[in-house]
Amino acid sequence: IRTNSPRTQLQRKFVPASRYIDDYELSPDGSKLAITTRGKAFTFGNWEGAISQHGDRNNARYRLPAWTNDDNTMILSSDESGNDQLEIHTIDGSKKPQVLPSKLLGRPQLIKVSPNGEYVALLNHRHELVLIKIKSKRGVVIDQSKFGFMEGFNWSADGAWIVYAKY
């Protein structure tokens, strides 16, 4: 039996990435944007320059981009190792991504870098608020909610305090 068909299922499909934007983060100076769409991480200037993809192109899924205070690096949650881990990526790709410790992470739900760029704080699926010092790559659980998710948190302007609500 022979069937003449245009084979539409075999043709390439172009999907608009705007439908699949997972997370986005504006750089501290407002000149660049970091997004994750369909598990891939991208950065681009608001009005000029090309779009750059970060991280492994095929074997990892990226989430939760967070800029550091220097506008040249960002932190992403990645599942490249099989478990969630935090990676520090340079925007120009000049350095290999650094991996922060994953023992305390769990599955990050929200990531924020301190205004002075020394610490990363995150909320995870275990209802924990985790603080990681970037240089030493050591983390500590600051607090945990036994009854439900912590809705959010934020840093003070000097990076000395974290404000959060706990149930």
- Distance separating alpha carbons of residues 62 and 166, to the nearest angstrom: 27
What are the start-end ranges of the H helices in the chain?
A: none
Q: What is the DSSP string of 121-148?
A: EEEETTSEEEEEETTTTEEEEEEE-SSS
Name the residue type at position 26.
Answer: L
From the list 129, 140, 54, the residue with the least C-alpha distance to 101 is 140
Q: What is the pTM of this model?
A: 0.80
pLDDT in tens, 87-143: 888 888 788 888 886 677 888 899 999 998 889 999 988 888 999 988 888 888 888
